[in-house]
């Protein structure tokens, strides 16, 4: 039994294995308070710490957080610089705690666009957590799903050209193993804050059978209580994977039906 699940009144068997979050609304949160946008991003980072800790305690296997998109490079230079500064600060400050909390840290996306010192901080943390066995914390940075899919296509083509793979062998599993999220459990739950009803190029392949949650709350206000509320709603959804409700009634665990 997990005491955190008890505390929050959650059934551990009904929790998602992998949650993906589009953490949106930092700018609006700050503007509403007449603060610079960067203070919204700053508050947002505090929520990352809180929600990561909660997910780890609840025994959720993977949490993928959309922190900066391929398209976010189009923002004003000072905002991009401010976000990168926060990223440096976050990794430096959290490094020890992430290692000690048994978290497996990974960054997905086109990291070549990031500055060399940030790449160094990321690689160092990935290396120091690779033997950990707890929550997979996956941060999508300079990430766009269409590019991720294209990178995967290139990898698969390379394997075919090098005769490591036969064209007939290409299936969903082979393709998934070429995505940045390789090795993570299937995405069960998608959350987007701030009321926007779009996925903005996040985990397009992985979203195939995820349960979708859109909430008006702005990311800097997204606390443990809100996360638990959404997890409770998730646990009430019937995931059919193409089958009928009657078929599901014959099984005890939805999870086994994938």
Contact positions toward ligand IPE, by CB under 6 A? Answer: 22-28, 66-69, 71-72, 83, 194, 196, 198, 200
Residues 62, 234: Cα–Cα separation, whole Å? 16
DSSP 8-state symbol, 34: T
Q: Is 66 in the site for Mg ion (CB under 5 A)?
A: no
Other Cβ atoms less than 10 A from the Cβ of 113: the count is 12
Q: Is 69 in the site for Mg ion (CB under 5 A)?
A: no
DSSP 8-state symbol, 194: T
198: annotated binding-site residue?
yes
33: annotated binding-site residue?
no
132: annotated binding-site residue?
no
Nearest-approach distance from CB 141 to ligand IPE, in angstroms: 9
Backbone angles phi, psi at 244, to 5 degrees: -95, 160
The answer to whether residues 127 and 99 touch, using CB atoms and an 8 Å cutoff, is no
Which residues are annotated as catalytic?
Answer: 24, 72
Ramachandran class of 59: left when φ > 0, alpha when ψ lies in -120 to 50, beta otherwise: left
Residues 54, 50: Cα–Cα separation, whole Å? 6
Residue nearer to Mg ion on the CB measure, 26 or 206 = 26
Q: Is 24 in the site for Mg ion (CB under 5 A)?
A: yes
136: annotated binding-site residue?
no
From ligand IPE, Mg ion, none, interface partner of 68 (C-beta below 5 to 8 A by class):
ligand IPE
DSSP 8-state symbol, 60: -
Q: Is 188 in the site for Mg ion (CB under 5 A)?
A: no
25: annotated binding-site residue?
yes
From ligand IPE, Mg ion, none, interface partner of 90 (C-beta below 5 to 8 A by class):
none
The CB-nearest residue to Mg ion is: 24
Tokens, residue 186: 């299937």
Nearest-approach distance from CB 23 to ligand IPE, in angstroms: 5
Other Cβ atoms less than 10 A from the Cβ of 47: the count is 23
Residue nearer to ligand IPE on the CB measure, 105 or 143 = 143
Residue ranges for the known binding site for substrate are 25-29, 37, 41, 69-71, 73, 75, 192, 198-200
């Amino acid at each position: 039994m997990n005491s955190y699940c008890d505390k929050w009144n959650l059934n551990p068997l009904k929790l998602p294995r992998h949650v993906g979050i589009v953490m949106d609304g930092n700018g609006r949160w700050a503007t509403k308070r007449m603060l610079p946008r960067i203070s919204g991003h700053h508050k947002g980072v505090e929520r990352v710490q809180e929600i990561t800790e909660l997910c780890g305690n609840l025994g959720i296997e993977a949490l993928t957080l959309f922190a900066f998109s391929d398209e976010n490079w189009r923002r004003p230079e000072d905002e991009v610089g401010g976000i990168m500064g926060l990223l440096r600060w976050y990794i430096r400050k959290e490094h020890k705690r992430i290692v000690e909390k048994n978290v497996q840290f990974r960054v997905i996306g086109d990291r070549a666009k990031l500055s060399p010192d940030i790449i160094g901080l990321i690689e160092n943390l990935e290396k120091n957590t690779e033997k950990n066995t707890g929550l997979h914390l996956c941060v999508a940075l300079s990430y766009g799903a269409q590019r991720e899919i294209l990178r995967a296509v290139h990898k698969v083509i390379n394997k075919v050209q090098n005769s490591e793979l036969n064209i007939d062998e290409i299936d969903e599993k082979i393709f998934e193993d070429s995505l940045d999220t390789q090795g993570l459990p299937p995405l069960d739950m998608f959350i987007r804050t701030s009321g926007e009803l779009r996925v903005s190029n996040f985990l397009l392949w992985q979203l195939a059978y995820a349960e979708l949650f859109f909430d008006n709350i702005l990311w800097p206000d997204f606390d443990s209580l809100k996360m638990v509320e959404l997890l409770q709603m998730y646990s009430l959804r019937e995931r059919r994977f193409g089958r009928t409700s009657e078929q599901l009634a014959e099984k005890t665990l939805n999870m086994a039906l994938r």
